[in-house]
Amino acid sequence: MSATHAPAVPALTAATFDETVATADRLLLVDVWAAWCGPCAPMGEAVASVAASHADVVTAAAVDADAEPGIARRYDVMSLPTLLVFSDGRLVDRLVGARGRGRLLEDLAPHLP
């Protein structure tokens, strides 16, 4: 497993997280994961797929909860995978648990144009 479990999704750190959230010009999906989390890998693939197919309105990033526990604590991430959904710099949704691409799109539909 690489620094991000979905190679097309950039990893965020404590140093880059706030700026990335604040400057995102589209819906930002932050996939909070860990290497030991079995369901996290397929969830990362689903997030990457949605971001690629909706690149005009969605950006994705990932946070390794073990490497960046401060971010996980700040957003009360108690279970992995957790997807934090930001719009205009604000947390607008939190999706806890793995889901495939289809269900992910359904869950994100209220936030997509």
- Residues annotated catalytic, as ranges: 37, 40
For 36, the token pair is 């030991």
- CA nearest to 104, candidates 79, 76, 85, 87: 85
